């Protein structure tokens, strides 16, 4: 029976969910807008707020998908080579085997949703300055819009390379209705400029309600600089910029003392969680648990158990001996009580991701409002550690401390003194072990041209070394293809190499 995920889609909802211990506020203006147009809409501060709230809805694209797990957050992991699927998705299996094509629906999902968000951000940035409202409130809304535009362009430029660069609202008569692709460097210039504008917009240092904060801006900008220092731009001077950008973040957040807090309801938007996509039962739900639990086993109160993304056993074996993250019900699990029959323990054929297991919905009615994390403190710590080591030629005490804080929580002993090269690979490895299955690995492959080789835990050239599934990455897979629908619609768009 095909599982219907339509109820989990963002669709045309213009909302952002903000959760606290006592309430969840829905940012959706309920008045009818059958005659909506920007000329008569952008007249009040509340309208501006509602419109900016709506930009956040495009973030839900990461969990958009169908019954078979063809969801962007899964597609990104399958490209990295450390996940498999027991689901029924032909497209997912083609990604794993590197036989996919530009018609894969995930490529269109990311492209279209990203440009929808950018279009809305462009409208906000154009129209909000003219609204009569307190300057501080106006600057904050503009800062959120700048962040969102940068965020989505950052995904587009990494995934598709040269992409159309649109910075003004588009109408049916606009010259940019059918745009050309712009150079990667130009796209990055806009991303950096937008994030600098967001950084100066008066955003709060942190936020516990799911909105953009200064910590989120700095972490994203640090990631941008780190990426620019690698392939394809190789602007190595940006290592120093990345380190300087995320340094303040390291003291604004704190690591959880329990990995379960990464995926429960009580700790949303708190502790080490810098920026999340927010969900709330009854308003916006998701299928993250159903997609990541073992296939067809009655674990939790879900109507479907899809097994669409499972870790490879070789990847799990790459964790050092004694690493807490590899222990049962930390990042992974191999058994669980049967739903409605806790005395019966179900043992899995292969381990699954406990990192995304949602106890509240599993023990409840199967409706999940688990948040999806975009940035958390360990990523900022590892950005700093890698960037500072590259910029200065050796790790300083802060970089070493950042790396060892993550390892210490995992109950691992300190490394001791490391050379620049050894420290670099230690940080790379920690990115895989700590940030596993959070949509970071594929982007690391792109910028380093290295893959994580398991179970030995070393690094090798990405396009000449087989992964644990026996697949050697094709050079064309450093980029996604331009969606075929876009090629068919816009004759100015030319396909990426190897995808014709």
Provide the pLDDT for residue 88. 73
What tokens appear for 188 in the block?
């990055």
Provide the pLDDT for residue 177. 82
Provide the H-helix boundaries in 247-396.
288-292, 313-317, 359-363, 377-392
Question: In the chain, how long is the greatest CA-to-CA distance?
Answer: 66
Provide the pLDDT for residue 1. 32
Cα→Cα distances 53→50, 117, 427, Å:
5, 11, 36
- Which helix (H) or strand (E) element contains residue 346? strand 341-353
Q: How many CB atoms lie within 10 A of CB 344?
A: 10
What tokens appear for 47 in the block?
């309208």
- Above pLDDT 90, what percent of the chain? 83
Provide the pLDDT for residue 304. 87
Round to whole Å and give the CA distance between 127 and 274.
29
- Which helix (H) or strand (E) element contains residue 420? helix 420-434
Round to whole Å and give the CA distance between 449 and 400.
24
What tokens appear for 176 in the block?
């940019």
Provide the pLDDT for residue 455. 83
Asked if 235 and 330 touch (Cβ cutoff 8 Å), the reply is: no
Q: Is the bond into 232 cis (omega within 30 degrees of 0)?
A: yes
Round to whole Å and give the CA distance between 354 and 158.
29
What tokens appear for 124 in the block?
């906000």
Say which residues have a Cβ less than 8 Å from residue 165's Cβ, sequence separation at least 6. Answer: 153, 179, 182, 186, 187, 190
Q: How many CB atoms lie within 10 A of CB 215?
A: 23
Please determine, for residue 438, whether its predicted confidence score (pLDDT) is greater than 50.
Answer: yes
Handedness of CA 44, 27, 169, 198 (dihedral sign): positive
| Domain range annotation of the chain | 1-187, 288-368
What tokens appear for 358 in the block?
């949602």
Asked if 420 and 393 touch (Cβ cutoff 8 Å), the reply is: yes
Q: Which residue has the tokens 């993304």?
A: 309
What tokens appear for 449 in the block?
């041209």
Whole-model pTM over 0.85:
yes
Specify the fold of 1-187: 1.25.40
Round to whole Å and give the CA distance between 402 and 419.
16
Please determine, for residue 422, whether its predicted confidence score (pLDDT) is greater than 60.
Answer: yes
Buried b (16+ CB within 10 A) or exposed e, 44-79: eeebbbbbbbbbbbbbbbbbbbbbbbbbbbbbbbbb
Provide the pLDDT for residue 69. 78
Provide the pLDDT for residue 39. 65
Provide the pLDDT for residue 310. 94
Provide the pLDDT for residue 13. 31
Provide the pLDDT for residue 21. 29
Question: What are the tens digits of pLDDT across the range 239-249?
Answer: 999 999 999 99
Q: Which residue has the tokens 């308003």?
A: 283
Give the SS3 label for residue 289. Answer: helix
Asked if 20 and 294 touch (Cβ cutoff 8 Å), the reply is: no
What tokens appear for 232 in the block?
């394809």
Provide the H-helix boundaries in 276-412.
288-292, 313-317, 359-363, 377-392, 397-409
Provide the pLDDT for residue 37. 61
Q: Is the bond into 281 cis (omega within 30 degrees of 0)?
A: no
Please determine, for residue 269, whether its predicted confidence score (pLDDT) is greater than 90.
Answer: yes
Angle at 105 between CA 77 and CA 434, to 5 degrees: 15
Name the burial class of residue 471, with classes exposed (0-12), middle (13-18) and buried (19+) by CB atoms within 10 angstroms of its CB.
middle
Q: Note the residue count of the chain.
A: 500
Question: What are the tens digits of pLDDT across the range 49-88?
Answer: 999 999 999 999 998 766 677 889 999 999 999 999 876 7
> What angle separates helix 214-229 from helix 184-199, to the nearest 10 degrees?
150
Say which residues have a Cβ less than 8 Å from residue 189's Cβ, sequence separation at least 6. Answer: none
Round to whole Å and give the CA distance between 288 and 292.
6
Beta-bridge mates of residue 275:
375
Give the residue from 442, 491, 478, 481 showing the smallest Cα distance to 103.
481
Numbers of helices and strands, H then E, in the chain: 17, 10
Q: State the pLDDT confidence band at 196, using cuts at 50, 70 and 90.
A: very high
What tokens appear for 349 in the block?
């054929």
Cα(first)–Cα(last) distance of the chain, in Å? 35
Within its chain, how far is the Cα of 316 from the centroid?
21
Give the residue from 421, 383, 377, 379 showing the smallest Cα distance to 399.
383
């Amino acid at each position: 029976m095909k599982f219907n995920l339509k109820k989990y889609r963002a669709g045309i909802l213009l909302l952002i969910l903000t959760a606290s211990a006592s309430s969840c506020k829905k940012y959706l203006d309920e008045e009818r807008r059958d005659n909506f147009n920007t000329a008569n809409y952008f007249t009040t501060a509340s309208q501006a707020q509602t419109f900016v709230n709506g930009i956040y809805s495009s973030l839900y694209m990461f969990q958009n998908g169908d019954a078979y797990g063809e969801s962007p957050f899964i597609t990104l992991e399958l490209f990295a080579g450390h996940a498999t699927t027991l689901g029924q998705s032909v497209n997912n299996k083609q990604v794993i085997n590197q036989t996919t094509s530009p018609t894969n629906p995930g490529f269109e999902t990311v492209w279209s949703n990203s440009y929808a968000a950018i279009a809305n951000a462009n409208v906000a940035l154009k129209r909000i300055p003219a609204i009569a409202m307190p300057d501080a409130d106006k600057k904050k809304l503009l800062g959120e819009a700048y962040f969102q535009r940068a965020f989505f362009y950052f995904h587009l430029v990494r995934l598709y390379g040269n992409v159309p660069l649109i910075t003004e609202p588009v109408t049916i008569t606009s010259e940019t209705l059918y745009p050309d692709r712009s150079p990667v460097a130009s796209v990055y210039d806009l991303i950096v400029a937008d994030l600098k504008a967001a950084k100066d917009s008066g955003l709060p240092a942190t936020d516990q309600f799911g909105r953009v904060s200064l910590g989120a801006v700095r972490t994203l900008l640090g990631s941008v600089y780190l990426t620019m220092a690698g392939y394809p731009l190789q602007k190595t001077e940006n290592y120093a910029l990345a380190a300087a950008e995320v340094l303040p973040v390291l003291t604004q957040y704190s690591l959880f003392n329990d990995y379960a807090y990464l995926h429960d309801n009580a700790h949303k938007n708190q502790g080490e969680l810098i920026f999340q996509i927010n969900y709330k039962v009854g308003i916006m739900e998701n299928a993250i648990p159903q997609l990541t639990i073992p296939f067809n086993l009655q674990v939790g109160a879900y109507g479907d158990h899809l097994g669409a993304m499972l870790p490879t056993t070789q990847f799990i074996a790459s964790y050092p001996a004694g690493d807490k993250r590899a222990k049962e019900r930390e990042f992974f699990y191999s058994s669980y009580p049967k739903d409605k029959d806790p005395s019966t323990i179900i043992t899995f054929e292969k381990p699954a991701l406990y990192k995304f297991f949602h106890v509240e919905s599993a023990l409840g009615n199967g409706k999940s409002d688990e948040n999806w994390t975009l940035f958390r403190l360990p990523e900022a710590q590892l950005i700093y550690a890698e960037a500072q080591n590259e910029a200065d030629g050796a790790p300083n005490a802060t970089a070493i401390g950042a790396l060892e804080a993550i390892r210490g929580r995992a109950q691992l002993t300190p490394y001791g003194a490391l050379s620049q090269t050894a420290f670099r690979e230690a940080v790379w490895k920690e990115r895989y072990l700590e940030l596993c299955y959070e949509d970071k690995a594929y982007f690391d492959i792109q910028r380093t041209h290295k893959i994580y080789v398991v179970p030995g835990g070393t690094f090798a050239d990405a396009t000449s070394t087989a992964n644990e599934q026996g697949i050697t990455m094709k050079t064309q897979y450093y980029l996604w293809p331009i969606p075929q629908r876009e090629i068919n619609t816009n004759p100015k768009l030319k396909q990426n190499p190897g995808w014709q």
